[in-house]
Chain A
Amino acid sequence: MKAIITVFGKDRVGIIAGVCVKLAEFGVNVLDISQTIMQGNFTMVMMVDCSGMTVDFGALSKELDALGQSMELSIKIQRSEIFDAMHEI
């Protein structure tokens, strides 16, 4: 199962590293990353593969949310089908 992780917030050192370490911990493989600074805000979109994930989706979502709070960022994970459905025919 593929999912999209979006990260928003104030730019700082170690955001990508922090998120990737957490993902590795739970067996989530990063497929693609695109990152930019929009109006001074850090914005990152990652596509990940959750097929080897060692926890359930809800638990991973909570872990990422907690990581986000500790780094003063918003981190969300959503299954990629929702974006496919809305933007592709």
Chain B
Amino acid sequence: MLNQKDILSTIEMIEQQHLDVRTITMGISLLSCADENPDAACQKIYDKICRYAENLVKTGCDIETEFGIPIVNKRISVTPISLVAAASKTDNYSCFAKTLDRAAKTCGVNFIGGFSALVQKGLTEADIKLINSIPEALSETELVCSSVNVGSTKAGIDMNAVKMMGRIIKDTAELSAKKGSFGCAKLVVFCNAVEDNPFMAGAFHGIGEAEKVINVGVSGPGVVHEALKAVKGAPLDVVAETIKKTAFRVTRMGQLVAKEASKRLDTEFGIVDLSLAPTPAIGDSVARILEEMGLEECGTHGTTAALAMLNDAVKKGGIMASSSVGGLSGAFIPVSEDEGMIAAAQSGTLTIDKLEAMTCVCSVGLDMIAVPGDTSAETISAIIADEAAIGMINNKTTAVRVLPAVGKDVGDSIDIGGLLGKAPVMPVHKQSSAEFIKRGGRIPAPIHSLRN
């Protein structure tokens, strides 16, 4: 029999500490939709997504009502479109993005991911077409998210793709300048991208995945923060234990929701992603957890160590709570989506260089960072190269999601809206990286990629 204290603590987590399931994401394979005729391919894609995800949102809402746990997002991820569209005779892949957008709207989800290309070892003709279509695709659709994987520990870094992506991010920002560079908020450049990530904007349905799967992303920075308030001044090993216990509870809830959703939708259960995903709401911040550990402001010395411990403890706590863990699993540090990060960036304590260091120990990378509008494409490419190098050498996923703030400079900010929040424009180094980026070619895979 449950005791009253446990019941009330769960209710308090949900009502006061923003405990929620951040996303239920249905992964759908579109490999069967390839067609020489692009219109026919688009029709097959639309029909398949709508057929598989017809009841996704309704099921999510039902579970939400019955279990009393908010499920913030219901989303879809699909096979990287460059693979599906490769068979079609067309040079512009925007029509595929529009089809995804239309299908997402019909199903009622709030994002669809997979306008993607995996180019870590080289670019196919289809990859090039897809990448060149990204600015138009993201500015002319609302719900489509795009990602490009430019490197991996096994393959090295494709610097030609890195060079392209700097320009693509700039063009995407220009085309969505009126909406606070919203297009760039839907575009991620990865190294070591994972195939079962339920979180946007980087979700896609990997080619090693089943026909359709349910992946769930949990969250709960507010719950962790609240738990740490109870161990003020205690040694860090006590802090780590407290985070583990909290992460265990949060993940058990995610596992329950994932199993239930997969049963009701008659879809294989994929993974639970053990993540601490912040929102701009007060009391839902990862930065504030780090500050609770004893840092005056996020970004100061000690931040990387605190984040490393948080990230590790979240995984250790979550791993036993779920039968299948995957995705990105760890703490996210998206600047614009985290009220504490926004404050730290505004005060100048949190810089891009410090964020880069933090990405060595967090779950992903440089995320939702606004940079001055006059930042060159080469500088953005160089930021991507640095981040990809961290991922490649450390055998982890890293990513870059930067938003060039068109016509704006340090001191300004851009408002992307909703859960994507508000991003203060952060300074980048003025010295040029152009000659380095111009070289193109590949950075070879590191020696420790040779594991066989």
Using CB atoms and an 8 Å cutoff, list the residues of chain A in contact with chain B.
4, 6, 32, 34, 36, 43, 45, 47, 57-58, 61, 76-88
Residue of B whose beta carbon sits closest to that of A88: B2
Query: Given the complex, which residues of B lie within 8 Å of A87, measured CB to CB?
Result: 2, 6, 9-10, 249
Query: Given the complex, which residues of A lie within 8 Å of B1, measured CB to CB?
Result: 32, 47
Partner of B6 from the list A43, A58, A61, A86 (CB cut-off 8 Å) is A86
Residue of A whose beta carbon sits closest to that of B249: A86
Knowing A4-B2, A45-B8, A83-B6 are in contact, say whether A78-B66 is a contact too (CB < 8 A). yes
Knowing A58-B62, A77-B68, A87-B2 are in contact, say whether A82-B8 is a contact too (CB < 8 A). no
Q: Indicate with 1 or 0, residue by residue over B168-204, a CB within 8 angstroms of chain A CB atoms.
A: 0000000000000000000000000000000000000
Knowing A47-B2, A86-B253 are in contact, say whether A81-B7 is a contact too (CB < 8 A). no
Q: A87 CA to B252 CA in the complex, in Å?
A: 9
Instruction: Check B2–A84 contact: CB distance below 8 A.
Output: yes
Query: Given the complex, which residues of A lie within 8 Å of B4, measured CB to CB?
Result: 34, 36, 43, 45
Query: Given the complex, which residues of A lie within 8 Å of B253, measured CB to CB?
Result: 82, 85-86
Partner of B69 from the list A4, A34, A45, A82 (CB cut-off 8 Å) is A82
A83-B10, A85-B256, A88-B2 given; name 14 further pairs at CB < 8 Å.
A6-B11, A34-B4, A36-B4, A43-B8, A45-B7, A47-B2, A57-B66, A79-B68, A80-B2, A81-B67, A82-B10, A83-B2, A85-B253, A87-B2
Residue of A whose beta carbon sits closest to that of B2: A83
13 pairs from A and B in contact (CB 8 Å cutoff): A6-B11, A47-B1, A57-B66, A76-B11, A78-B66, A78-B68, A81-B256, A82-B68, A83-B10, A85-B255, A86-B10, A86-B249, A86-B252
Q: A88 CA to B10 CA in the complex, in Å?
A: 12
Knowing A32-B1, A47-B2, A57-B66 are in contact, say whether A83-B252 is a contact too (CB < 8 A). no
Query: Given the complex, which residues of B lie within 8 Å of A81, measured CB to CB?
Result: 67, 256
Query: Given the complex, which residues of B lie within 8 Å of A36, measured CB to CB?
Result: 4
Residue B65, interface by CB 8 Å: yes
Min distance, Cβ A39 to any Cβ of chain B, angstroms: 12
Kindly list the 3 A-B residue pairs having the minimum CB-CB distance in the complex, ordered from nearest. Answer: A78-B68, A87-B6, A85-B252
Query: Given the complex, which residues of A lie within 8 Å of B62, measured CB to CB?
Result: 58
Q: A61 CA to B67 CA in the complex, in Å?
A: 11
Partner of B67 from the list A43, A45, A82, A88 (CB cut-off 8 Å) is A82
Q: A76 CA to B68 CA in the complex, in Å?
A: 8
Min distance, Cβ B15 to any Cβ of chain A, angstroms: 9
Instruction: Check B66–A6 contact: CB distance below 8 A.
Output: no
Instruction: Check A57–B65 contact: CB distance below 8 A.
Output: yes
**Centre residue among A4, A32, A82, A84 by max chain B CB count within 10 A:** A82
Query: Given the complex, which residues of A lie within 8 Å of B256, measured CB to CB?
Result: 81-82, 85
Query: Given the complex, which residues of B lie within 8 Å of A47, measured CB to CB?
Result: 1-2
Q: A82 CA to B11 CA in the complex, in Å?
A: 10
Q: Indicate with 1 or 0, residue by residue over B55-78, a CB within 8 angstroms of chain A CB atoms.
A: 000000010011111000000000
Q: Indicate with 1 or 0, residue by residue over B35-72, a CB within 8 angstroms of chain A CB atoms.
A: 00000000000000000000000000010011111000
Instruction: Check A79–B66 contact: CB distance below 8 A.
Output: yes
Q: A86 CA to B251 CA in the complex, in Å?
A: 8
Instruction: Check B6–A6 contact: CB distance below 8 A.
Output: no
Min distance, Cβ A75 to any Cβ of chain B, angstroms: 11
Min distance, Cβ A9 to any Cβ of chain B, angstroms: 13
Q: A87 CA to B10 CA in the complex, in Å?
A: 9
Instruction: Check A83–B65 contact: CB distance below 8 A.
Output: no
Min distance, Cβ B255 to any Cβ of chain A, angstroms: 7
Q: A84 CA to B67 CA in the complex, in Å?
A: 11
Instruction: Check A61–B65 contact: CB distance below 8 A.
Output: yes
Q: A77 CA to B256 CA in the complex, in Å?
A: 17
Query: Given the complex, which residues of A lie within 8 Å of B2, measured CB to CB?
Result: 4, 47, 80, 83-84, 87-88
Instruction: Check B8–A58 contact: CB distance below 8 A.
Output: no
Min distance, Cβ B351 to any Cβ of chain A, angstroms: 38
Knowing A4-B2, A32-B1, A47-B2 are in contact, say whether A83-B7 is a contact too (CB < 8 A). yes
Query: Given the complex, which residues of B lie within 8 Å of A32, measured CB to CB?
Result: 1
Q: A4 CA to B9 CA in the complex, in Å?
A: 13
Instruction: Check B67–A78 contact: CB distance below 8 A.
Output: yes
**Centre residue among B1, B65, B253 by max chain A CB count within 10 A:** B65
Q: A32 CA to B252 CA in the complex, in Å?
A: 25
Min distance, Cβ A83 to any Cβ of chain B, angstroms: 5
